[in-house]
Structure 1
Amino acid sequence: MSKLFPTLLLTLASLPAWANLNVFATVPEWASLAREIGGDKVRVYSATNAFQDPHRIEAKPSLLAQARQANLVVAAGADLEIGWLPLVLRDSGNAAIQAGRPGYFEAANFVSRLEVPTSVDRAQGDIHAAGNPHLHLDPRNVLKVGEALAGRMAELDAANAAAYQAGYKSFAGKWQAAMARWEKEAAPLRGVPVLVHHASFLYLANWLGLKEVGTLEPKPGIEPTSGHLSSLLARQQTLPAKMVLRTAYNPDGPSQWIAGKTGLPAVLLPYTVGGTAEAKDLFGLFDDTVQRLLKGLR
């Protein structure tokens, strides 16, 4: 036993501090990306699901418990989680995942953000000073974030760095082929005018060439009012839309009201992984999104 003991100590010393890299993702899309890259080297927890508004989450003890165990927090950033994530980070007592540390990662830092305001006035509604945070709905952004995330995983878990780089390379190859297919299928959507419940689909519209001509919310984050919906109805005469889009977590009443008055299709898009039965992963998210838009156009 005495001869084996030093060998055992050396073996234990060479192991990482965790059996898997514990990833705390704030939203399902980045949880799914972490799984694509990390495979069996990661344990991923998603703090929210597709039926929750990621702007409005309660910092519950269950989230604190998961954050306390995390080696890496993957957030959307651009203030999407500003109402709850800082509280979770602070109260977790986990120094490794605080902002500015390697264990804290914001996807928005690795893409070109849209709708960055020149000034912020709360009278304008729920305006994000760092730009629109719904950046995952442009698959080109997913690729950029994936590359950066693989690098961060490799930095935190050097023993498995090669596995993370290989995971990203495999994902990127499949993703680029899928993007080419989605863009070809979605060609009929270019220039199609749409109404949206919230500014959730800006990056999707920018990628596919959809034209947003109105928002059911009178101001970002402010629930639709009858007066504002009536004004959108009147605008159909001069600026007609072809569809009304909402996420799985938006209430369906406003879009159904517009649809009932105009005959426009009210299209539910998954928005994130899990938003529909078909959107089981990132590939399913975009497969289903493109198909639902094309069905709405018909």
Structure 2
Amino acid sequence: MMRTSFNPLINPLINNEGISGLLFALGIALGITPALFFIPEATALNILTCEPEWKALAEQIAPHSKIYSATSALQDPHHIEARPGLIAKMRNADLAICSGADLEAGWLPLLQMKSANARIQNGKDGMFYAAEQIDTIGKLENVNPTMGDVHPEGNPHFHLDPYRLMTVANALAERMAKIDPNHGESYRENIKQFDEQWQKNIRKWEQEAKPLKGMQVVAYHTSFEYLFQWLGISMVGDLEPKPGLPPSGKHLSRLLKLAKNTRVDAVVYASYQDKSGAEWLSKQIGVPAIKLPMSVNDNNKSQALTSLYDDLIGKLLKATKSNG
């Protein structure tokens, strides 16, 4: 039987360094500069996010990771089915990133249980709750079923406050570095660049949004409470009679009476919320009905979060001009 023998320059590299060493040796043998052999960087982390805003943030900090969002901007993150595909994604995740504050209480625990992934259970480094990194608004000490769909740990939609989002981003970068120390310096460098650009964006947004200060709106529940608080917008009426309940005819009539005695500049609703009540009320009052995005889309990954804020402020400014 003929025995195959390897060149002594190549053989040790096959045994010790694998394909990278083989390509290096072949390059030398053929007179090709080894730097011309490009070997893609290994995937850093396998990440599952509960909402698309955290996927967009993770892409900024860990661009070489595999990242999947359980929901889209057109879905209500309160109500998601723990389908088999999501269970499989959870099973393979090194890191799960969720809002917390009970936003995903109806489906995340089931995903954690059925995935049987020890890395992403509560209390483990692989389970990252953004709400635990910041102070939420609207915390409740005493909650009962008659109050509707409320969140005792506070309003979970804090990604619409750029300052809180930046705090979450820095905590997330450190968590990634802890889970994946081999790429720790990369995460820290990326978050440094993110912070610098994000602070520039905040200054730009606050300058652009000055005309919005003092604006008064009717909106759904607490969806945009952080955004309104940041921009100086007052929510003078709630489209929901109780959190989680759609506006009834009786409730809309009450809001119509409210508008006769209180200035209302616009009626606001999220992209996944029922628009019928909002549009009816806006027509009756004679003010714009504004559909605002609740989260990012995938049209521009590198600028997804920036585009979200640009869009939010742009749509609100357009409403003030139309009232002008």
Bin of the TM-score, shorter chain as denominator length: over 0.9
The offset of 1:215, in angstroms, is 0.9
Flag the 1:230–1:127 CA change in 2: closer, same or farther, 3 A. same
Once the two structures are superposed, residues 137-162 of structure 1 have per-residue CA deviations (whole angstroms, 9 ceiling, x without a partner) of 00001100000000001011110001
Q: Where does 1:1-298 land on structure 2 (aligned, <5 Å)?
A: 3-4=12-13, 7-8=16-17, 19-40=43-64, 42-274=65-297, 281-298=304-321
Distance (Å, rounded) in 1 between the aligned partners of 2:172 and 2:13: 39
Q: 1:259 to 1:275 in 2, by over 3 A?
A: farther
Whether the aligned pair in 2 keeps the contact of 1:270 and 1:279 (CA below 8 Å) is: no
Counterpart Cα distance in 2 of 1:292 and 1:44: 29
Partner of 1:14: none
TM-score normalised to structure 1 length: 0.93
- Structure 1 position 4, deviation (Å): 4.4
Distance (whole Å) between structure 2 residues aligned to residue 164 and residue 149 of structure 1: 9
Q: Tell me by how many angstroms 1:174 deviates.
A: 0.7
**Structure 2: distance between partners of 1:51 and 1:4:** 51
Work out the CA distance in 2 between the residues paired with 1:211 and 1:3: 70
Q: Secondary structure at the match of 1:119?
A: coil
Change (3 A) 1:100 1:38: same
Deviation at 1:198, TM superposition (A): 2.8
Distance in 2, Cα, partners of 1:30 & 1:145: 10
| Mapped contact 2:133–2:167 kept (Cα < 8 A) | yes
5+ residue gaps, structure 2: 1-5, 21-41
Q: Which runs of 5+ in 1 are unaligned?
A: 12-17
Q: Distance in 2 between matches of 1:279 and 1:123?
A: 43
Q: Offset at 1:110?
A: 1.0
CA contact (8 A) 2:44 2:62 kept: no
* Paired amino acid for 2:125: P
The 1-side partners of 2:320 and 2:186 are apart by 42
Alpha-carbon shift at residue 25 of structure 1 (Å): 0.4
1:69 & 1:191 partners in 2: Cα distance? 47
When residues 69 and 278 of structure 1 are mapped into structure 2, their CA distance, relative to the original with a 3 A threshold, is closer
Letter in 1 for 2:136: R
> Which amino acid counterpart does residue 204 of structure 1 have in structure 2?
L
State the TM-score, normalized to the length of structure 2: 0.86
Q: Distance in 2 between matches of 1:89 and 1:270?
A: 28
Cα distance in 2 for residues equivalent to 1:180 and 1:103: 33
Contact residue 50 and residue 275 of structure 1 kept, 8 A: no
Count of aligned pairs: 291
* 1:170-207 Cα distance to aligned partner (Å, 9 max, x none): 11111100000000110111121111023100100111
Deviation of the 1:3 alpha carbon? 4.1
Tell me, in whole angstroms, the C-alpha distance in 2 between the residues paired with 1:278 and 1:293: 23
| Contact 2:102/2:156 (<8 A) preserved | yes
1:223-254 per-residue CA deviation (whole Å, 9 max, x = no partner) reads 11110011000011222211111111011101
Contact 1:278 1:285 in 2 (8 A): no
For residues 234 and 249 of structure 2, what CA distance do their matches in structure 1 show? 24
1-side partners of 2:217 and 2:147: how far apart?
22
Question: For the Cα contact (< 8 Å) 2:98–2:130, is it kept in 1?
Answer: yes
